[in-house]
């Protein structure tokens, strides 16, 4: 009798990493597979992978040096079968300097234009790209009250900007983001600073995650009810609008009103293509509610009282930001943050519609280079409201 091959396994990360995050599991590939190829998984393994992905939010597959770029978008076939054939950031990389997303100088891979090269440092003749000066963005360029030189020298860091990978205009956010580490610099660990004074040790350049499901659970019953009845309207051309804005020290919102690019000065836009989403999204596998707000890009809120149908609109920007921040800051505690410590070869696959993530660290202070591949395929289906009728 042939020996049955061991199936794919999902192993939750150790308790000291998982804490209360509800995030993080390692994928142990089936015995027959060394490099991940989602197209070669059996139906049973596909199902285990899919359930593990939506239950754990962040999956890690170690030692994947050698995978081809297409693997990053083939993953979307498994988790979002109706995805569109291009990146949620558009068919081409954003290079318009009016858009804050152009600041990292990243570039698509010519043979796989769905995949973006991101990182830190100078790159020449890599994957047919020519020259790149990759910028690892950090709090110093974006926070209203950045860390002092002394604090940085002492190893402190902060989240740059919490977000989902979402254009918030035209292309719907992908369900899954895949990241693959090509080169990882060896630099000293850092200490993540929290507003209440707590400190969490993190690897330099760790990618930070918190769960939208954990965030929803951290709310009071009244806040949950408000969130369930509320739709978030995003700013038109949000990333151009916040180009000169500065963030709060937790990276969750914009600190002050006043530096927004005014609407007449934005690139032309079609109001029909500006996104509005329910505040609470349904996990497509386990049905749990996830609070999902791109806090730096909010513009107005509409809340519908389910018993009367009455609508309340909040459109004063400072108040919109304050309300959203009050909900999201409840989850930003060390016990709720998973910080992925990158190793060369890592393939990290996360539920972009179920978690928030952020860059951390100050890699620009070091000469060693970091190279990652990133892919988030645009979806054809909008996020599903947890409470129908909230949108
Ligand atoms: Fe991102």
Q: What is the mean pLDDT of residues 28-50?
A: 96
**What is the rounded CA–CA span in Å between residue 152 and residue 208?**
18
Quickly count: other Cβ atoms within 10 Å of residue 296's Cβ. 25
Domains parsed from the chain with CATH numbers = 9-211+339-376 (3.60.130), 214-328 (no CATH)
Q: What is the mean pLDDT of residues 149-170?
A: 95
Chain segment 3-25, per-residue pLDDT in tens: 567 899 999 999 999 999 999 99
Mean pLDDT over all residues of the chain?
A: 93
Alpha carbon of 17 to ligand 1 centroid (Å): 21
Alpha carbon of 161 to ligand 1 centroid (Å): 9
* Strand order from edge to edge, sheet including 311-314: 276-278, 230-234, 298-304, 311-314
**Cα 385 to Cα 22, 76, 226, 355, 369, distances in angstroms:** 21, 21, 13, 15, 41
Chain segment 334-353, per-residue pLDDT in tens: 999 999 999 999 999 999 99
Do residues 112 and 104 touch, judged by C-beta distance below 8 A?
Answer: no
Alpha carbon of 308 to ligand 1 centroid (Å): 39
Percentage of the chain exceeding pLDDT 90: 81
Confidence bin at 238 (pLDDT 50/70/90)? very high
Alpha carbon of 116 to ligand 1 centroid (Å): 11
Name the residue with higher pLDDT: 240 or 88: 240
Confidence bin at 90 (pLDDT 50/70/90)? confident
| Weakest-pLDDT range from 162-171, 293-302, 381-390 | 381-390
Number of alpha carbons in the 13 Å side-chain half-sphere of residue 145: 7
Alpha carbon of 256 to ligand 1 centroid (Å): 23
Alpha carbon of 2 to ligand 1 centroid (Å): 44
Alpha carbon of 283 to ligand 1 centroid (Å): 19
Q: What phi-psi label fits residue 307: left (phi over 0), alpha (psi between -120 and 50 degrees) or beta?
A: alpha
Residue 351: alpha-carbon gap to chain centroid:
8
Alpha carbon of 107 to ligand 1 centroid (Å): 14
| Weakest-pLDDT range from 82-86, 153-157, 200-204, 262-266 | 82-86
Alpha carbon of 5 to ligand 1 centroid (Å): 36
Query: ∠ at Cα 132 (122, 139), nearest 5°?
Result: 70
Alpha carbon of 249 to ligand 1 centroid (Å): 18
Alpha carbon of 177 to ligand 1 centroid (Å): 8
Chain segment 110-157, per-residue pLDDT in tens: 888 899 998 888 988 888 888 888 888 889 999 999 999 999 999 999
Q: What is the mean pLDDT of residues 245-251?
A: 97
**What is the rounded CA–CA span in Å between residue 200 and residue 153?**
16
End-to-end CA distance of the chain: 56
Q: What is the mean pLDDT of residues 287-303?
A: 98
- With residue 327 as reference, give the H or E element that holds it: helix 317-328
**What is the rounded CA–CA span in Å between residue 299 and residue 356?**
19
Examine the pLDDT at 76 and tell me if it is beyond 80. Answer: yes
Alpha carbon of 358 to ligand 1 centroid (Å): 7
Chain segment 64-75, per-residue pLDDT in tens: 999 999 999 999
DSSP state of 238: H
Alpha carbon of 4 to ligand 1 centroid (Å): 39
Alpha carbon of 32 to ligand 1 centroid (Å): 32
Confidence bin at 231 (pLDDT 50/70/90)? very high
Examine the pLDDT at 366 and tell me if it is beyond 90. Answer: no
Residue 53: alpha-carbon gap to chain centroid:
15
pLDDT of 39: 95
**Cα 340 to Cα 202, 210, 383, distances in angstroms:** 8, 11, 26
- With residue 227 as reference, give the H or E element that holds it: helix 221-228
Alpha carbon of 166 to ligand 1 centroid (Å): 8
Alpha carbon of 25 to ligand 1 centroid (Å): 19
Q: What is the mean pLDDT of residues 94-98?
A: 65
Alpha carbon of 15 to ligand 1 centroid (Å): 25
Do residues 161 and 295 touch, judged by C-beta distance below 8 A?
Answer: no
**Cα 57 to Cα 25, 28, 353, 376, distances in angstroms:** 8, 16, 9, 15
- With residue 289 as reference, give the H or E element that holds it: strand 289-291
Q: Supply φ then ψ for residue 63, to 5 degrees.
A: 55, 55
pLDDT of 42: 95
Alpha carbon of 251 to ligand 1 centroid (Å): 13
Antiparallel, parallel or unpaired: β 207-211 and 338-340? antiparallel
Examine the pLDDT at 389 and tell me if it is beyond 70. Answer: no
Alpha carbon of 173 to ligand 1 centroid (Å): 11
Q: What does the H/E/C string look like for 30-82?
A: CCCCCCCCHHHCCHHHHHHHHHHHHHHCEEEECCCCCCCCHHHHHHHHHHCCC
């Amino acid at each position: 009798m042939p020996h049955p091959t061991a199936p794919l396994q999902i192993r939750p990360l150790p308790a000291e990493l998982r804490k209360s995050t509800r995030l993080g599991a390692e994928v142990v590939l089936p015995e027959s597979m060394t490099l991940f190829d989602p197209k070669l998984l059996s139906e049973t393994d596909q199902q285990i992978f899919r359930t593990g992905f939506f239950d754990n939010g962040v999956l890690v597959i170690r030692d994947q040096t050698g995978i081809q770029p297409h693997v990053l978008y083939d993953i979307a076939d498994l988790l979002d079968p109706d995805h569109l054939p291009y990146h949620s950031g558009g068919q081409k990389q954003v290079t318009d300097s009016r858009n804050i997303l152009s600041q990292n100088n990243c570039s698509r891979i010519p043979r796989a234009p769905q995949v973006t090269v991101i990182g830190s440092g100078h790159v020449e003749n890599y994957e047919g790209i020519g020259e790149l000066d990759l910028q690892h963005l950090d709090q110093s360029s974006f926070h209203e009250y950045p860390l002092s030189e002394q604090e940085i020298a002492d190893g402190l860091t902060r989240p740059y900007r919490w977000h989902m990978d979402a254009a918030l205009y035209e292309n719907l956010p992908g369900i899954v983001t895949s990241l693959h580490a090509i080169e990882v610099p060896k630099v000293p660990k850092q200490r993540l600073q929290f507003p209440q004074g707590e400190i969490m040790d993190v690897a330099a350049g760790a990618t930070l995650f918190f769960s939208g499901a954990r965030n929803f659970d951290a709310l009071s019953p009244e806040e949950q009810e408000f969130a369930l009845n509320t739709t978030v309207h995003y700013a038109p051309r949000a990333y151009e609008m916040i180009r000169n804005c500065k963030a709060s020290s937790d990276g969750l919102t914009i600190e002050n009103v006043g530096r927004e690019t005014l609407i007449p000065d934005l690139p032309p836009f079609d109001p029909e293509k500006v996104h509005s989403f329910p505040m609470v999204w349904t996990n497509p596998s386990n049905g749990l509610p996830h609070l999902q707000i791109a806090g730096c890009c909010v513009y107005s809120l509409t809340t519908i009282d389910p018993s009367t149908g009455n609508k309340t609109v909040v459109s004063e920007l400072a108040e919109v930001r304050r309300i959203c921040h009050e909900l999201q800051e409840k989850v930003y505690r060390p016990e709720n943050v998973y910080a992925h410590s990158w190793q060369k070869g890592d393939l990290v696959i996360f539920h972009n519609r179920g978690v928030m993530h952020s860059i951390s660290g100050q890699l620009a202070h070091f000469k060693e280079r970091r190279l990652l591949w990133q892919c988030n395929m645009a979806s054809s289906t909008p996020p599903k409201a947890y409470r129908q009728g909230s949108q």
